[in-house]
Structure 1
Amino acid sequence: MSTPASPAIPPTLFLSDDDVAVLSDWTAAVAALADAYARHVSDAMVPPRSMARGDGTWLRSLTAVSPSGGHLGCKLIAASTRARRASYLISLFDQDTTALTALIDGNRVTGLRTAATATLAIDLLAPLRPLQVAVIGSGFEARGALDCLRTVRRLASVKVFSPSQASRERFADSFRPQLDIAAVSSAEVAVQEADVVICAARSRDESPTLHGAWLAPGCTVVSLGSTLPEQREVDEDTLDRAACIVADMPAEVAHDTGDAIAATRAGVQLADKLVSLAALAAGTVTARRSERDIVVYKSVGSALQDVVIAEMLLGLARERGIGTPLAVSIAPVSK
């Protein structure tokens, strides 16, 4: 009796950094993440990240099973602190055949998924009206977060602060005339009367750049820039005033970010108000019980976000005929 022939496996598609730039789409990215977070995602599907360390080098791996049922994915980040260089690679494997479906340059994907997930959180948390937005920071993450948000929500006004006057003026100029945006002289001025505060910068001495005393009632705070124990971005009062703290990875936010560690040491009880973005997206938790409640979205990044955005890019690449099919690939074997 003959052995059934293995199904034909399409060639692995390689997407370069230039391909990703062409395919990047904020609206599609937010929609893909909204769909993923509304589905059931177990802890086993998104395990903790791992890191191998050498002498001035490290390799981080983030793995996830997509809730779409399409792919298993992994993002690898190789970095050298001595050379001041880093490389990013995302691999997607078909869940049914285990075939290597795609290899994607992940350089831009981190920025895409960070901004799109922040926009999803804001859309779920902020009031349904044109928003007054404050941005603290004028770098890559701040730019992506504001650019993505303006494609999904109407913005009444934007104020931006960063320590460099030239940088904040350039940032503001780059968004005119699409937005009513002003560069201001301090973070406190930027935050006054804001519906949404986007924090995407840390101080050089790691002292907080946002203070809870500045926040107006009902404000939504998004913290993107502090993801390690030694990093600080929002002060203890911000987390103390928050009625709810939404996190993409609650355990990592609670135990591995400098903001949460400092707040816990100061006696702020985080456990009772820390909820997952997945629970918020699924509608199983209510973050704000009063319109005056302050809420915080705290992000450390997640392999789920990387894999979902990679799937989105792959789908768009197939539709548009973009990418390079590899001449040879990895053939799945029987086990």
Structure 2
Amino acid sequence: MLLLSEDQTRNALPYPDLIDALAEMFRSGCTMPTRHHHDFKIPGEPDGTMLLMPAWVPGGYAGVKVVNVVPGNSERNLPAVHGQYLLSDARTGEMLAMIDGGELTARRTAAASALAARYLARSDARHLLVLGTGRLAPNLIAAHMAIRSIEEVTIWGRSQEKTAQFARDLDGQLPIRIQAASSLRDALGLADIVSAATLSTEPLIKGDLLKPGAHVDLVGAFKPTMRESDDDLIERAEIYVDTRDGCLSEGGDIVQPLKSGLITPGDIKADLYELCRGEHPGRQSDATITMFKSVGAALEDLAGATLAYQNVEH
């Protein structure tokens, strides 16, 4: 069985290919059962959580991502999240590959954002603003650079010192201008694309600050209690999601305005299935503000794992 490390997984998933693989999987579809969610006791500390996310294409490939979340690991100087992906032959059942779950998740998440931006961001978008300085931030930059001619990236984070260092580190790696935001308010008014990957429980992106034609990509705030966008953005924007089922029940940027009555499920213009299948055209006006919310789907993991396996084997 093939075993792919973090570095091998990264090298096997170049963004142009990965974005196309996700698009094809959303077009063709796959079987995607509801993910399994199990808490397990750990004596003397908070419970851990085991997540099992299966998906398969009949006669093609099958896979399951296993993720363990252990909050108490912070006391052990260990990551709170550990994950692996097991890919199988869906015809014979043969186990084909074990793929690093963290790198697969980070790259497929960023690729889904870029796939949405392919339909929703203006074709002349050049300035990207990223909120957050975690693992997803450099991936979101690279993914958006694969589908738009990004010339300038601004980074915002809660710690100015950490954000400045993060921007300096990236500046030496990418052939574009990268800077730390001195003011989130000012940065929001300048950006063509705003991509947020935070765990915020209070809105960070104010809709009245965005310029006409901006595209907002909301990746963080994956629980109903979290939120990155305010009500002004919800009212101003055309709303798109990765999957309706996931976003209507999980992400606070959709769940909270639904609960308050600000929007209804019918206000979601389209999901990635509809965009990739040509059932909705995406952006239709240069002046429209578009918003994309993602919470992730096992379909994306399967597409990425299949691509990684095929790239290494062939």
When normalised by structure 2's length, the TM-score is 0.89
Select the residue among 212, 218, 222 that pairs with 1:223.
Answer: 218
Counterparts of 1:271 and 1:312, CA distance in 2: 33
- Name the SS of the counterpart of 1:310 in structure 2: helix
Distance change >3 Å, CA 146–CA 270, structure 1 → 2? farther
Q: Which residue of 2 aligns with 1:172?
A: 167
List structure 1 runs of 4+ shifted beyond 4 angstroms.
none
- Of residues 103, 109, 112 in structure 2, which corresponds to 1:108? 103
- Structure 2 distance, partners of 1:267, 1:289, is 26
Q: Does residue 234 of structure 1 match 2:224?
A: no
After TM superposition, the score normalised by the length of structure 1 is 0.84
Q: In the alignment, does 2:265 pair up with 1:271? A: yes
The separation in 1 between residues aligned to 2:107 and 2:176, in whole angstroms, is 21
Q: Tell me, which stretches of 5 or more residues in structure 1 are unaligned?
A: 1-11, 320-335
1:208-229: CA deviation from partner (whole Å, max 9, x where unpaired): 1111111112211100011111
Measured after TM superposition, the shift of residue 294 of structure 1 is 1.3
Q: Provide Cα deviations, 1:175-208, integer angstroms capped at 9, x if missing partner.
A: 33611222122222111132211111233xx111
**Aligned-residue offset at 1:38:** 2.4
Q: Structure 1 residues 259, 309: CA separation in 2 closer, same or farther (over 3 Å shift)? A: same
**Structure 1 residue aligned with 2:185:** 188
Letter in 2 for 1:266: S
Tell me the distance in 2 between the aligned counterparts of 1:167 and 1:125: 31
Question: Which of residues 248, 251, 255 in structure 2 aligns to 1:254?
Answer: 248
Quick check: 1:202–1:208 contact (8 Å CA) kept in 2? no
Does the 8 Å contact 2:241/2:271 carry over to 1? yes
Between the aligned residues of both structures, percent identity stands at: 28
1:34 aligned to which of 17, 23, 37? 23
Counterparts of 1:136-155 in structure 2, within 5 Å, are 136-155=131-150
Does the 8 Å CA contact 1:33/1:305 hold for their aligned counterparts?
yes
The DSSP-based 3-state class of the residue aligned with 1:83 is: helix
User: What is the CA-CA distance between 1:130 and the residue it aligns to?
Assistant: 4.3
Return closer, same or farther for 1:157/1:87 CA change in 2, 3 Å cut-off: closer
Whole-angstrom distance in 2 between the partners of 1:66 and 1:81: 34
Shift of residue 146, structure 1, vs aligned partner: 0.6
Larger radius of gyration: 1
Matched, 1:76 2:76: no
Contact 1:143 1:171 in 2 (8 A): no
Question: How far does the alpha carbon of each residue in 1:215-259 deviate from its partner, in whole angstroms, 9 at most, with x for none?
Answer: 11221110001111121111122122112x221121221222222
Pick the aligned partner of 2:116 from 114, 121, 125. Answer: 121
RMSD of aligned Cα (Å): 1.9
**Matched residue type, 2:39:** R
2:44 matched residue in structure 1? none
Which of 21, 30, 33 is the equivalent residue of 1:47? 33
CA–CA distance in 2 between the matches of 1:266 and 1:87? 35
Name the structure 1 match of 2:53.
Answer: 62
Q: Deviations over 1:37-73 (max 9, x none)?
A: 222x26xx12222201122111101111248x52011
Give the corresponding residue for 1:326. none
- Gaps of at least 5 residues in structure 2 are 42-46, 75-79
Match of 1:311 in 2: 306
On the 8 A contact 2:155/2:181 being kept in 1, the answer is yes
Residue 273 (structure 1) shift? 2.6
CA spacing shift, 1:193–1:259, aligned 2, 3 Å = same
1:83 CA displacement:
2.8
Contact 1:235 1:263 in 2 (8 A): no
Amino acid at match of 2:38: A
